[in-house]
């Protein structure tokens, strides 16, 4: 009402006022270029004048961390130099206020405020612009909703088991958040690990199917976890040994076992011989030499992969039979000859057999033979024999053995007593091999020990045995 009165009664003044206002606006365009340095105002905003229109905006889900608030306000009081201030509310709570230097009508400012509230928040913001001066008190209070994005989840997440591992699941992703502190790894709904890397290898058990996922975590703004992203992937069943083999009649003194195995979960291999657990070796070894095998004896083998922490076993390998090469020569069991016998080699393993005695090759040995009586020997002498299995003139196997026939000589003369007197005539003496190494003495404890003399195969029923006896201590009484 007062404005109308002024325009009627002082029309000339109004004209001058409009002219002055136009001049003031021109002056403002050239002079009001410096922003008010009042923290936390965004001083990157450029002030401008575009009439008396005012604006207020709040960003909606453009950032995880903050809401950007921007406004343009003008001095609305017409007369003289007046005051102007702004007050910013978040849900009716004052978060910022500022009073601009006194200005005349039409001067304006564009400013901004950044409200750091953290991810996933939504609020209602109000700007109260207040102009006051002579005959003037004007409020303008627009509102706007503002929000932040939720904490962003990892991008391009990959969950896979490309190598068909029985232990590992591979995960990789890209960072999707500006607030990331680290990542959480989940099996189903259970957190199992954290990492600051953008990849992770899950260490689990065979035949394990689960949803493996990753989420972003930030420790800022009280801590937040993003939505999980992942996929359901399974590990392979516990890998058993494959391509298992056991050497049969192709090795001397041992049986060779070998296999392949792709298990990541296994820590050891357990080897079974004739259905009983025989030995255990580290998973780094994929072969074994059985030196305990008796030459010529056939054994059944199989192998299982084993984890010594969980005590889990894989399925067994195939069953294979093995046998070490046997090459034997008799030790004094045959008079005038040495009996040789050996392994019946596989048909495709050799096509020629060679046997040597003391470096001289024996005649009459053929590929299909498994034994030979060597009669051209020296009785009482230990001979060295060598067996060669040959395939197309290539020696594939060499085995050594020693054998002898008993001495056939006679001992003539007489046997004297220790005193040298007398003598025993017509004594027959022979040498025989023994199964064990002979000793020159025995020790008897007087409880249940005795000496047994085997049959001597003599041509007489009379025999004399001599022995030296030494006591360990004084004999106080004769045994009863």
CB 60 within 8 A of CB 145: yes
Average pLDDT over the chain reads 83
Q: What is the pLDDT of residues 207-236, one digit of tens each?
A: 999 999 999 999 999 999 999 999 999 999
C-alpha separations of 51 from 17, 25, 42, 130 in Å: 16, 9, 22, 18
Alpha-carbon gap, residue 346 to 419, rounded angstroms: 64
Residue 73 phi, psi (nearest 5): -130, 155
> Rounded to the nearest 5°, which phi and psi values hold at 61?
55, 45
423 band by pLDDT with thresholds 50, 70 and 90 = low
CA 78 from chain center: how many Å?
79
Extract the tokens encoding 365. Answer: 């040995």
pLDDT band of residue 399 (cuts 50, 70, 90) is very high
Confidence tier at 407 by pLDDT (50, 70, 90): confident
Of 448 and 459, the structure prediction assigns the larger pLDDT to 448
pLDDT tens-digit readout, 308-346? 999 999 999 999 999 999 999 999 999 999 999 998 888
In this prediction, residues 274-286 reach a mean pLDDT of 96
Res. 448: pLDDT tops 90: no
Task: Show the tokens assigned to 448.
Answer: 């249940």
Residue 24 per-residue DSSP state: H
pLDDT at 375 over 80: yes
Structure confidence at residue 28 (pLDDT): 32
Domains of the chain with bracketed CATH: 2-147 (2.60.40.10), 155-234 (2.60.40.10), 242-324 (2.60.40.10)
pLDDT of amino acid 231: 97
Over residues 175-213, the pLDDT tens digits come to: 999 999 999 999 999 999 999 999 999 999 999 999 999
Question: Which of 93-97, 103-107, 169-173, 405-409 shows the lowest per-residue confidence on average (mean pLDDT)?
Answer: 405-409
User: What is the C-alpha separation between 335 and 358, in angstroms, rounded?
Assistant: 19
pLDDT for the residue numbered 422: 54
Query: Measured over all CA atoms, what is the biggest interatomic distance in the chain, rounded to whole angstroms?
Result: 180
- 299 pairs with which residues across the strands? 322
Lowest mean pLDDT across 42-46, 71-75, 320-324: 42-46
Higher pLDDT, residue 45 or 447: 447
> Three-state DSSP class for 56?
strand
Task: Give the per-residue pLDDT at 38.
Answer: 34
Q: Are 215 and 155 in contact, with CB atoms under 8 Å apart? A: no
Q: What is the pLDDT of residue 346?
A: 86
Q: What angle do CA 68, 69, 71 make, to 5 degrees?
A: 145
Q: Report the alpha-carbon distance of residue 27 to residue 402 in Å, rounded.
A: 124
Q: What is the pLDDT of residue 340?
A: 94
pLDDT (0 to 100) of residue 300: 97
| Amino acid 22: pLDDT | 35
Note the pLDDT of residue 178: 96
Q: Is the pLDDT of residue 425 over 70?
A: no
Q: At what angle do helices 2-9 and 11-31 cross, to 10 degrees?
A: 110
- The pLDDT > 70 percentage for the chain reads 76
Q: Are 56 and 142 in contact (CB under 8 A)?
A: yes
Region 154-162 average pLDDT: 97
Residue 157 has pLDDT above 70, yes or no: yes
* pLDDT for the residue 451: 75
Q: What is the pLDDT of residue 79?
A: 86
SS3 content of the chain, % helix, strand, coil (to 5): 5, 45, 50
> Do 109 and 49 contact (CB within 8 A), yes or no?
no
Q: What is the mean pLDDT of residues 77-86?
A: 91
Confidence of residue 471 (pLDDT cuts 50, 70, 90): low
What mean pLDDT comes out for the span 153-164?
A: 96
The Cα–Cα gap between 129 and 72 comes to: 10
Residue 396 clears pLDDT 70, i.e. is over it:
yes
349 phi-psi bin (left φ>0, alpha ψ -120 to 50, beta other): alpha
pLDDT at 41: 45
| Average pLDDT for 457-469 | 67
Whether the CB-CB separation of 117 and 123 falls below 8 Å is answered with yes
User: Does residue 72 register a pLDDT over 80?
Assistant: yes
Q: Using alpha carbons, select from 476, 451, 454 the residue that is nearest to residue 463.
A: 454
Top pLDDT among 450 and 90 is at 90
C-alpha count within 13 angstroms, C-beta hemisphere, residue 123: 24
Among 130-139, 163-172, 291-300, 447-456, whose mean pLDDT is lowest? Answer: 447-456
Decide if pLDDT at 6 tops 50. no
Residues sharing a CB contact under 8 Å with residue 461, sequence separation 6 or more, in sequence order: none
């Amino acid at each position: 009402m007062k404005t109308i009165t002024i325009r009627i009664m002082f029309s000339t003044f109004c004209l001058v006022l409009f002219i002055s206002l136009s001049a003031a606006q021109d002056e403002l365009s050239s002079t009001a270029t410096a922003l008010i340095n009042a923290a936390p105002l965004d001083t990157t905003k450029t002030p401008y004048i575009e009439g008396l229109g005012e604006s207020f905006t709040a960003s909606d889900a453009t950032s995880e961390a903050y809401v950007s608030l921007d406004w343009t306000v003008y001095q609305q009081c017409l007369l003289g130099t007046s005051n102007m201030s702004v007050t910013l509310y978040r849900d009716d709570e004052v978060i910022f206020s500022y009073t601009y230097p006194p200005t005349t009508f039409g001067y304006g400012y564009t400013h901004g405020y950044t409200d750091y509230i953290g991810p996933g928040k939504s609020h209602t913001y109000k700007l109260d612009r207040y102009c006051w001066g002579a005959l003037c008190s004007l409020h303008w209070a627009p509102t706007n909703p503002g929000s932040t994005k939720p904490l962003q989840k990892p991008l391009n997440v990959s969950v896979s088991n490309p190598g068909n591992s029985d232990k590992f699941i591979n995960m990789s992703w890209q960072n999707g958040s500006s607030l990331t502190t680290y990542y959480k790894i989940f099996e189903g709904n259970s957190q199992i690990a954290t990492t600051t890397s953008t990849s992770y290898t899950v260490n689990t058990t065979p035949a394990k199917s689960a949803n493996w996922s990753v989420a972003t975590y930030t420790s800022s703004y009280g801590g937040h976890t993003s939505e999980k992203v992942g996929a359901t992937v399974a590990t392979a069943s516990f890998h058993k040994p494959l391509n298992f083999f056991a050497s049969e009649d192709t090795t001397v003194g041992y049986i060779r076992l070998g296999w392949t195995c792709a298990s990541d979960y296994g820590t050891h291999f357990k080897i079974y011989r004739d259905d009983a657990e025989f030995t255990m070796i580290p998973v780094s070894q994929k072969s074994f030499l059985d030196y305990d095998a008796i030459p010529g004896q056939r054994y059944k083998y199989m192998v299982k992969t084993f984890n010594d922490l969980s005590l889990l076993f894989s399925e067994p390998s195939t069953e294979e039979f093995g046998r070490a090469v046997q090459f034997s020569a008799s030790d004094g069991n045959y008079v005038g000859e040495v009996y040789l016998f050996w392994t019946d080699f596989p048909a495709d393993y050799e096509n020629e057999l060679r046997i040597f005695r003391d470096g001289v090759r024996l005649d009459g040995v053929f590929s299909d033979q498994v034994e030979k009586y060597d009669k051209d020997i020296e009785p009482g002498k230990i001979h060295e024999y060598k067996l060669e299995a040959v395939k197309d003139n290539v020696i594939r196997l060499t085995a050594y053995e020693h054998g002898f026939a008993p001495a056939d000589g006679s001992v003539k003369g007489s046997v004297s007593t220790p005193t040298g007197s007398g003598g025993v005539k017509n004594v027959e003496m022979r040498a025989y091999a023994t199964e064990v190494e002979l000793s020159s003495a025995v020790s008897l404890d007087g409880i249940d020990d005795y000496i047994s003399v085997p049959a001597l195969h003599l041509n007489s029923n009379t025999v004399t045995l001599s022995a030296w006896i030494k006591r360990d201590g004084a004999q106080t009484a004769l045994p009863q």
